[in-house]
Structures are given as C-alpha cells and as structure tokens.
Structure 1
Amino acid sequence: MRISEKLTNTTWAGPTLQALKAELDQLEANGSLHIPQEPGGWWHQYVCPTHHTELEFDPNERDAHVFMCPHGCRIEGDAYRGAWLVFKHQSMARVALQAAAVYAGTKEQAYADLAKRILVSYADQFPQYPVHPDAQPWMLKGRAFHQALTEAIWSTTLLRAYVLLQDEGITLDKAEQAALDMFLSMLESSMTQYRYILIHERKNAENNYTAWLNAALSCVYTIRGQREQLVDLIESEGGWKHHLSIGVKPDQFEFEGSTYYHIFVLRAYLISAEMAQRFDIDLYRAEGEQGQSMKGMFDVLVGLSDDQGVLPALHDGPLARVPFAREIAEIMEIGLAAYGNEAYAPILGEAYRQMDGQRSRISLEALVYGEGNADLTGSMPARSSLLLADSGFAVGRNSNNGLSFLVDFGPHGGSHGHYDKLHLSLQHQGGAFAPDLGMVPYGSSLRKEWFAETASHNTVSIGGKSQAIHEGRCKQFTESEKSVYAWLQSEGAYEGSLLERHLLLTDEWLLDWFEVSLDNEQMIDWWMHAIASPEAVGGKWVSIECDASETLGSKECGYDRIELLDRYAANAGSGTGESSPVLTVSYNLGDAASGTLYQSTVQFDSEADALYRIATPGTSVDPSKQLNGLLHRRNGRKASFIHIYKLDSAPAVSWQSVAATDGTGSGRIIIGDQQKRVVCELDAQQGLKVTWEEDNE
C-alpha cells in the first residue's frame, strides 16, 4: 500500500507523517544532517567500560569526539569514535528513508531532494573508502564500516529509500546516476565476494551474514531490473531458499537459538522478499526443505513472547534497546500486513512502547511498512504451551495460572550461545519475573565474564565452573487440562554428571524439582536471578560469620561478579515434614495488579543445605543496577533442589522422606491442604509421578 493510500485509509498515518516531517525539519535546522567523511567502526564497542551500559547517541549531534554514559561518564578514544560513526552513518541512511517517505506523503520537493542528497553523497564517498584497515581479523571487512555485515544492513536502508523515490517518480540526473551506478557495482562486487567466502571457502552458508549479503544484493538487482540475477540469488546454494532451509530449524526458530538473531535474519529475509515481489516472485509463502517459512518464523515469536508482547532474550541479544525495538517494529508491521495475524499486534505495540513510550504508531516503521488500524494496546491472546524440539526450548502455560515458564535445553547456539542448559525463565501476567538477563554489547568485558556464564542463569553449576558446550534433551513434555509437565535432562554439562529438571505447572503453582547426580563429591550451586528482591517469610536473613568471598569460592566463570549478602535462617517451628523445613521468600512484583510471588524451598539439611541471598550485576540494559538473587548450595555427589512458586499466597508444602540414606532427600513433595493436594515423587524411568487428591465431602 502506498503512503498516499495510508493517509486516507488509516487513522494514524496523517499524524505520523507530520511528526516525521517536523523531525526532519528540526534536524535540518540545527545542522546535524552531516555525513562524516570517516568510515564507521564496530558498534559493539559503544559501551561504557565502567558501567557496561551502551553509550548515548543523539542524532541531533553533527559530530562527536566525547561520548556520554547514562551515568555521566565521559568517554574518549578511537574505538568509541568508530562506534559512534556507525550510529551516525546508520542514522543518516534512516534520514534518507524518512525523507523519501515524507515526500511520498506530502509531495514537497525539498524532502525528495534531501533523500537524494544523502544517497548521492554516500555513492560519491563510497569509492574513497579503502577496505577497512582497522577491522578485527575475524571479520569480513567492509569499506564504510569494519564489517561487511554492517555495510550490507546500512546499504539496504539507503537502497530502500531510493526504491521508494523511484516509486514516486523521482529520477537522478546523469552525474547522480553515474555515482549510484558505481556504488551499486562496488557493493555487488564486495557482497558477492563475501558470499563466496562464507558459502564455499568457510562452508558456513547458514551464517546470519549470508542472509544480509543476500538482502543487499537483492536491492542491487531490483534497482537494476536484473530479474535473472535475483532468481539465481534466491535459488542457488546459500541463496534465500537454501538459507531458509539451513539457517532455520524445522520448528521455525533461527539455528543459533537467539531471539535477536532470529529477528535479525527474518528482517533480511523480508527485505529480499520485498525486492522479489517487484518481479512478481512471492517469497512470503515460500517454504524451506523442512517446511520452514517466514510466517512460521513470525508465529514462533508469538509462542515465545510474554503476555505483554515482550520477547525473551534467549542466548545472545539485548533485553531491550531502541534500535532493536525498531527492528521488531519493522518486521511486525510487515508481518501484520502480509499475514494478518492479530497476535502480532501486542508484540508490535510493545516495540513501539520501548521506542516512544506508548503503544501506538508514530514512527517511520509504521509509515513505511504499516497497514490497517490494528489495536496495539491489548495483551497477547490465550496461547497453549509450546515445545521447540529442534531448537531446544519449551514454554509452559496454564490458562488459570498467571505464572508461566520457559526452559532452555537445546543446542549451545554457536558463537552466540551461552553455557545455560536447563536455564529457567519465569513470567507472570505483568511481565518477566526471572528472565534471561540478555547480552551487553560485545565490546563489554561482561559479555564473557558474566552474561554468557552459567552462574548468571537460572540453572545449576558444579564446582564453581561453567557448563561445557553441550546439548541437553527433553525426556517428556505433556500438557493436560490440569497441568503442563516438562522433564529436561543434561549429561554433557560436566564430566560424570547427570542434571535433570522437572517442571510441573498447575492452575495454582509451579513445581521446580532439580536433581543432580555426580561421580565425585563437589560443590553444587542452584541459581535464581529475579528482577525483584527476595524477602524472608517466616524466617530471616542472617549475616555470614566467615569471610563471604571465601565462602563463595572460585573467582572464575562469573563468580567474581557475585557478592554473598547473607544466609536464610528458619524461625523455630517453621515448615513441616520430617526434619526438612520449608524456607519461603516473597517477591513484590511491582504493582497491585501483579501482586506478590512466593517461593518455597525444601531444605533437607540445615547445616549442609544453604540458601544465600546474593548481589549480582543487573540485566544487560544496565548491569550497574544490581540485582538480588538466590544461591541454593549443597556439597555432595547427589542433590535435590525443590522450589515451588505461587502467586498471591505461599503454597502449603510438606516433605515426606522415603528411606533416604544418601542425604539427597529421597521422598515425595506434597503441595496443598487436606481439601486439595497434589503428591509428587520421582521415578527414574517415568519421571515425575503425580497424584491428585481432593476431599469431596
């Protein structure tokens, strides 16, 4: 749908057009629409070395050599300058697209001239850049940026601006066309060369780079009218269809198991599809060799998002940042227009909330790609549980319980994976309670020292070390009217280890039963990192008598980023059961609507079985804002960690031992009261055996 049609057929396009026009006028008035002569560097280095937060970028700045951290740090240096230049060049490409869109809506020549000026200036400048001499050795080197990948992304924005101008009847004069032709020729040459390296020399066709090299070439061939070359790009080895077949799992999730890179690749696919459509080639309904499709890639995001439309930060990827929110908004606008699934609307609304503070269409993404008047203010529709068997994620939901869970058991994720098998994320009706913490920009030392390590995830670590690169498995995943049950297992995390996590979600609570078996006695740590602080219920936090740093142990694998604060001590008579007190903590979820979450923990041995409160770096949005979490520790060859979560009130929990001789707490957990209770016990062959008991008198 053309922008002129949107002005007539939607309620939001007119005000959005005027806001975008005013923004361009302000940028032009303050002189910030300046194209730097220097090439960009690597944006991941745009991060404060002290606070590990992304540095601030203001598109109103004409130039910058001092860069500000949100906490007031003033940062200087060539690496930061190079990263700032990436943002500036990308910002200018965005301005070109915005100006083309404003022209399409207003027909005011000044905006077409602005878009042309930026496009032609870059076309003139591009041949002056050498292959980037400062790029890191592992990179496929670009000219305008360290990475050819960044160059491909940037070029698609510029070329989409040009295509939009073409649609509106704008042409270039002879000199301008010559500059553009040279730019296209050089871009084609470098993108083709790097495709060959990835596909044929490195045998790495599935790399997310390939999707973007394909997207950039699709734009080149479309502008030139080269249908034959575009068809070959779609059909050849490493081309659009082949990449969809090898870069996306049959369960429709991108092969690295990262939400960020899933969206990253899907965005590239959509650009190629947009260009192919101009030749009457429909990729929107095309499928890979095992049924992979762009629609499937959209739908899996619906299954993974929380009730508010927030997507989890699985493996590498930010928890939230404005440029990422723009990418989400772009693909969701296109997806909503192409497939009409209203379940995409809450994800789109959340992206706009992160960008602009409100769940409404007031951005460039809406004007260029959006259609219709979908309501973006609602929450996600009711969804069933989800098992991504190939990618290794499971989501448990119960329509009568505000709690839900997401667990990671699958492949490591390659260079973007974490040491996080059997990691558990928890959500409630108001949002995430215990999310994956996300990933900071790669220039931060915390990337490898904390956020990728096992200790930063809600799973188990052994001997103070992170897990090995490995793949777990799902032994059982069942859903019934009463409950959802997941049994996850890992044997490759540590030598001589068996880790098993059993999750049972009912209409009232979630049981998390984590079993550990080792060949040799070691320190076993169970972690829970939540965005709310744990408060002792029926007990108290007491100071640690010995040196806390010594008690924690190893300084490797993220442990040096953790501070032991205190230890939970049960009050006399707390809990029930045979010498197994139940320790309960509560979390204030932030507002009256969300309420309070209670977590009850079975403590089998008050001396050997310790529950600590810890301080750790915060989420990847701002690691300097510490979180308080829980460390449940036990030493031995075997350990059981049993935790029960319930909204609004603490669950009634008791433990019955069954001839336990090894200190692991062999027995059964009983949740509920005499009127309604559930008895759970483990069977090595069958998994969690559940008995539902109700008093009907």
Structure 2
Amino acid sequence: MSTVLRPDRIARILKEEIDRLQQAGSLFIPKEPGGWWHQYVCPHHHTELVFDDERADAFEFACPHGCQIEGEAYRGAWLVFKHQSLARAALQAAAVYAALGDASYAQLSKKLLVEYAEQFPLYPVHPEAQSWMLKGRAFHQALTEAIWSTTLIRAYLLLRDKGVVFEAEEQAAIDVFLGLLAGSMEEYRHILIHERNNAENNYTAWLNASLSCVYAARDEQAALEALIEGQGGFKHHLSIGVKPDQLEFEGSTYYHVFVLRAYLISAEMAQRFGMDLYAVTGTDGQSMRGMLEALADLADDRGALPALHDGPLARAPYAREIAEIAEQGLAIYGIAGLAPVLREAYRQLDAAGGEQLEALLYGTADRTSVPPEPRASRLWPHAGFVIGRVPGNPLSFLADFGEHGGSHGHYDKLHLTLMHPAQTLTPDFGMVPYGSPMRKSWFAETASHNTVSLDGFSQAPHEGRCVRYEADENSVYAWMQTTGAYEGCTMNRHLLLTGEWLLDWFRVELTGEESRSIEWWMHPAVQPIADGVVDREGVCLLRIQEQQASIAAERKLPIIGGFAADAEQLHLSYQLGTDAAVFHTALAEPGYELLAVHTPGDSVDPSQPLTAILHRRHERIADFIHVYRAGSSAELTRVSPQEIVVSVPGQPESAAHIQLTEDKGLIFI
C-alpha cells in the first residue's frame, strides 16, 4: 500500500464503480424487505453464496462451486446484501461528490436516500423474523436495520455538510424515516436493557449507533447526551461490553470489530456537537484506543486477525469493516501497529493501494509512515488469551483459556494457534454463516480446534485459567489449565517458546477408574509432510450434543493413514509458501496412535477437505509432547515421566533439559 493517500485518485476509482452500477441498471430500491443474511449459504458445500452488486434483482443464487440455489430464505438473504449495497452506494456517491464536486453524484445519493425514506414506512414490521430476533422493518433483524441505517444517515449528513439542499417534500420523507427509525431503536433498547437485562449485548452498541446518527441528523444534542450517559449508553456499554483488558466480552475477534465499529460511529456523531468520545474510558479503563491496540497485538505477522470464537476467517464485507476501523485507528490515534492490519484488509479486497470508500472517508496521508515497533508477548487475563513472541524466532503462538463466549463461543479451551510470518499454520478456522448446520456440527465443536477432546465428545462450555505466565526477551512460558471441560478431567497445557523452538506439553489426567479415548487434535492449514505414512483405515467418531446432555448427532471422519515413527519420534514438516517451512516433532511412545484424518475445510470453503493430525491414547493419563521449529527440526528425548530434552541436531550446546513440576510447571534444569 502506498504511504501517500491521494483522495482524488481514490475518488475517481470509486466514481468508476458507481458508474458501473448505474450502467448495469442495478441502483433501484427493492420493494421487499431483506431477510437474514446468514441464510445466504450453499446447503451442499456450506460456502457463502455469490453476491453480484450489478444485478438489479435475483431469484436464483450461485454457489462458488456451480450450484444454483432457489428459495425464499435465500432470496431474503440476497435482499439483505442488496439493501446494504445500495446504502453503501448512497454513501459512496456522496463521498465522490464531496471529493470531486460533480453534482450528478450528489443527486444520485439524494435519490437513493429519498427513495428509501419513502419506502421505509411501507415495509412491515417483519412477519417472517425468527422468534428470538428483535424485528426490523427493512430486515428480519433490528440489528441489521441499525447497521444499514447508519450508512444511509452518514450519506445524508455528508451531503448536508457539503451544502446539498433537500426540497421540502424530500425532507418530509426523510423526517418520517428518521422518526420511525428512532421509535423502533428506542423500543428495542428498552427491551434489551430493561426487560431482558442484557445491556452488554452487541446489539446495544448498534442501536446506540443508529440513534446517535438519528439525533445528529435531527440536531438533537440533548437526546444524544442522554444516550451517551444513560443506562446501556455509550459509556455504560463500554464498561460492561468490553473486558478490562480491552477485548469484547464474548471473546470473538469478529464481534470485537463489530462493536468497535459501532462505537466509532457514535463518536463521529457526538463530535458534530463538540463532544469527544474518542478519549472516553470505561470504569475499568476500557477505551476505543485500547480495543484498537488489542487488535494490532492479536494480528499475525501479515496483519490477518485470528477468527477467535464465532466470526469469518475471511470475508469481503468483514475486510471492509476492518479497513474502516483501522483507517480511523491510524488517523485518530496514530496506532502504527494497525498498518499491517489495514494492508491485509485491502489485500483481501484486492485494493492494495487502498482504493476503497474507507480510505476516502477516514484515511490520512501519513497512515503508514511510522513503522510498527516489534510486538512483545501479551496476556489478556480477563478475556483469557495469551500470545507468545520471542525475538529471533519466527514462530509465535496464540492460546485460548478464557470464558466460553455465550452464544458466540466455541468448545475450544486450551486451543493453540501456531503462527509464522509466511502463514498462520494452525489457525482457528472461523465460522460459517449461521444458516449452515455445520455451525454446530463442526466449527464450534472441540474436535475442529487444536486442543483435546474425550471419546469424541466436545468440551462443556466453561472457563479455564492461566496458572503461570512469564515472558522476557529469551523465552515465554504459559501454563493453562482447565478442570471444567469434562467431569473428573484435568487438562494442563504448557507452552514454552524460546529463540529456537516452541515446546507444547499437554497433560490430561482422569480421576475415574475407567480409561477413555484422549484425543489431541492439530489442524494445519497446509498438507503435512511425513517421513513415513502407513496404511490405516477407519473412522473417527464425533458425538454432537445438545446442551451437553444427550447425543443429537454423530459425525464420522475418515482416517486416511497412520504416521510412522522413528525411534519413538514422529517427524513432520509443513511448507509455507516457496521458501519457508515449519518442522514438527512429536513423541510417539508405545500405546499412542498418530493418525491422519480427513476433516472439513476452513469456514471459507468447508467442502475442500484438510488433513488433521490426531494423537490419541486410550488411558487415564496421557502426555502429548510436541516441539516445533522453523527452518529445521528439533529432537525430543524422554528422560523420565517428568523430564525431557529438547535439542537441535548438530548443535549439542543447544540441548535443553526441561522438567515438569507440580508447583511451577515447566522449568529448565
């Protein structure tokens, strides 16, 4: 991405996009309300269906693999995308007018705004919305309506700021729209905050953002001040919806970005009245700056954000949202660590030069001139995440021990993400649109994560803890523990990162008399390369539960082979790009199995299978000991049940004797 932002160049590119949509005849307001976008997913491949913003209407919807899907649910979801794209077109046309002064784009933006204002009262309070939803008019969900409305109102305000005049009849229609919108948003805030006692919900942040836009458009400063200060308002939500360590309370990166974007819109509206929300802190120090800095710390070396708990692994609308908040984080706070995050968002959008609406609206000319400082390790004790980084080692790790995350949580405690500058090797694969049954049958389940399951069952929803965390310039050690995953089961994961390697020692202990199948899972994003693979057939049975009570379904994953060990060690490697590799050594002791298992792919395309590594033992106590090194392999030697040696071939001086103790965890001896 260029370090010099040229608004005129970006505006001309955005102008060409608007021209393309006009030439295609697609800038017409649908008379039907939208449904629920999560249903826009192929029932066969579980990939999100293709949306083409040049289509004026559609009744048949394409899967990336060639399926043609029909049905009311899919059309309703398509209409969500259509309404959102038209709102974005209105804002984009207004921004093009503001940058280039071509009045035809102001007229186009105004036309879309007025047509929506006239149509909005004709949409019903959605009769087809699911029972758990707060219902909207233009969409199933009031939440979707809140998001959509902020885009439209920001277009209206931008036009008004630039001197565009709305005729009396046009303004009357907009006033009716604003009044109806305010009434529904205020009603739903009351339901969430007072009737459901659920003020921390991410909905609340967006209802607040929508109302902030309404009050700004109607010049109602007193109403906006009351919204900011009141129960469930900006300041209160910042205090209860965000943990003291600056991560959104559900532990989801996606919903962290989601809520932060709503906060920034509210702050933009408050600024119009001279109120500064950008510097506001919550009762435990929560702030938008802190939330943005947390994202800069969470991102991998390429700038990609991890898909912690519910959230897409990669998706164009999400990339635009990331770009929007990253542009503001750089412009308002000067957080240099967001520059890689912004570059990655624009890479995903195929806009390496930042030729996006977000760059025009929020970017600055100096957004990447300050290079980010090297990032250190970090512990989020309240949210329950830890990142390990050591200078000189290209490997780093991210692990999860915190709260389950409620309706957006996964059964994934002690999950490990292993990162390399070339590529994240073992990511959390994210979440498919919620309309796919694979949401619950795979992507939220324990076996789809890099952690341990028992007998094919997923963990119970629970919270683990970080027993010990130490970091200096030479090493990082994180000891995480959980006793709530399964009855009578204690899990301890010890991660030790040095300048040479990462040691992962996962111990599982059962208190009962019976042995169980203890299953250590690793899901590399690339095909593992093994020194030897032996024939092995069979299936790995996963038991999907409802409310952790009875078995609701079973999934059979095919075992496609076994890994052959050499002198009680298994050697694997992973090629990352053309010139980077990670080497993986596992202790393969008698009584353990090391298997290759075919699993669904990532959440972008589950139909493209991946090969997982399953290390398991049928016993009451099991140790899974693995070491990773970039460039060449490290060796593992078991000296005693509590002691191992990690060494690098050809470097005898590098041998490290490590002991597992009850009180301090791993120590060098």
- TM above 0.5: yes
> Which of these residues, 369, 372, 388, is aligned with residue 365 of structure 2?
372
SS in structure 1 opposite 2:564?
strand
Distance 2:332 2:156 in 1: 22
Aligned to 1:446: 438
Q: Retained in 2: the 8 A contact 1:309–1:380?
A: no
Amino acid in the other structure paired with 1:671: S
Shift in Å at residue 186 of structure 1? 0.4
SS in structure 2 opposite 1:675?
strand
Aligned to 2:483: 491
Amino acid in the other structure paired with 1:99: A
Moved more, 245-254 or 680-689: 680-689
Aligned to 2:397: 405
1:139 aligned to 2:133?
yes
Distance 1:11 1:367 in 2: 9
Shift in Å at residue 374 of structure 1? 2.8
1:15 aligned to 2:2?
no
> Which of these residues, 455, 464, 471, is aligned with residue 472 of structure 1?
464
Aligned to 2:658: 680
Q: Retained in 1: the 8 A contact 2:594–2:613?
A: yes
Distance 2:581 2:303 in 1: 21
Q: Retained in 2: the 8 A contact 1:24–1:95?
A: yes
**TM-score, L = length of structure 2:** 0.96
Q: Retained in 1: the 8 A contact 2:400–2:412?
A: yes
Aligned to 2:283: 289
Structure 1 residue ranges, 4+ long, deviating more than 4 angstroms after superposition = none
Distance 1:218 1:110 in 2: 29
Shift in Å at residue 471 of structure 1? 0.2
- How is 1:521-532 mapped onto 2 (pairs within 5 angstroms)? 521-532=515-526
Distance 1:93 1:481 in 2: 49
> Which of these residues, 571, 590, 597, is aligned with residue 582 of structure 2?
597
Shift in Å at residue 380 of structure 1? 5.4
1:380/1:321 CA distance change after superposition, 3 Å: farther
Shift in Å at residue 151 of structure 1? 0.2
1:627/1:381 CA distance change after superposition, 3 Å: farther
Distance 1:75 1:199 in 2: 39
Moved more, 673-682 or 422-431: 673-682
Give the CA RMSD over aligned residues: 1.4
Report Cα offsets for 1:558-591 as digits up to 9, x if no partner: 9625221111123xxx33xxxxx11111111122
Amino acid in the other structure paired with 1:116: K
Aligned to 1:4: none
> Which of these residues, 396, 402, 414, is aligned with residue 388 of structure 2?
396
1:565 aligned to 2:560?
yes
Shift in Å at residue 13 of structure 1? 1.3
1:561/1:67 CA distance change after superposition, 3 Å: farther
Aligned to 1:345: 339
Moved more, 79-88 or 167-176: 167-176
Distance 1:443 1:27 in 2: 29
Distance 2:556 2:185 in 1: 41
Shift in Å at residue 10 of structure 1? 5.5
SS in structure 2 opposite 1:505?
strand
1:671 aligned to 2:663?
no
Shift in Å at residue 379 of structure 1? 8.3
Aligned to 1:641: 624
1:618 aligned to 2:611?
no
Report Cα offsets for 1:519-566 as digits up to 9, x if no partner: 2311000000011111212xx21112xx502xx244546962522111
Moved more, 111-120 or 359-368: 359-368
Amino acid in the other structure paired with 2:393: N
Aligned to 2:155: 161
Report Cα offsets for 1:437-491 as digits up to 9, x if no partner: 0000000111000000000000000121000010000000101232100000000
Q: Retained in 2: the 8 A contact 1:346–1:379?
A: no
Distance 2:371 2:518 in 1: 39
Runs of 5+ unmatched residues, structure 1: 1-8, 576-580, 658-664, 692-697
1:265/1:447 CA distance change after superposition, 3 Å: same
Moved more, 365-374 or 412-421: 365-374
Aligned to 2:294: 300
SS in structure 2 opposite 1:486?
strand
Report Cα offsets for 1:70-95 as digits up to 9, x if no partner: 00000000000000000000000000
Aligned to 1:459: 451
Distance 2:655 2:44 in 1: 51
Report Cα offsets for 1:286-305 as digits up to 9, x if no partner: 10000000000000011101
Runs of 5+ unmatched residues, structure 2: 546-552
Distance 2:489 2:403 in 1: 18
Shift in Å at residue 344 of structure 1? 1.2
Report Cα offsets for 1:135-188 as digits up to 9, x if no partner: 000000001000000000000000000000011001211111110110010000
Report Cα offsets for 1:269-319 as digits up to 9, x if no partner: 000000000000000001000000000000001110111111000000000
Aligned to 2:65: 71
SS in structure 2 opposite 1:562?
strand
> Which of these residues, 549, 563, 571, is aligned with residue 584 of structure 1?
571
Report Cα offsets for 1:78-118 as digits up to 9, x if no partner: 00000000000000000000010111112221111111110
Amino acid in the other structure paired with 1:683: T
SS in structure 1 opposite 2:493?
strand
Amino acid in the other structure paired with 2:647: I
Aligned to 1:662: none
* Matched pairs, number: 656
Q: Retained in 2: the 8 A contact 1:145–1:151?
A: yes
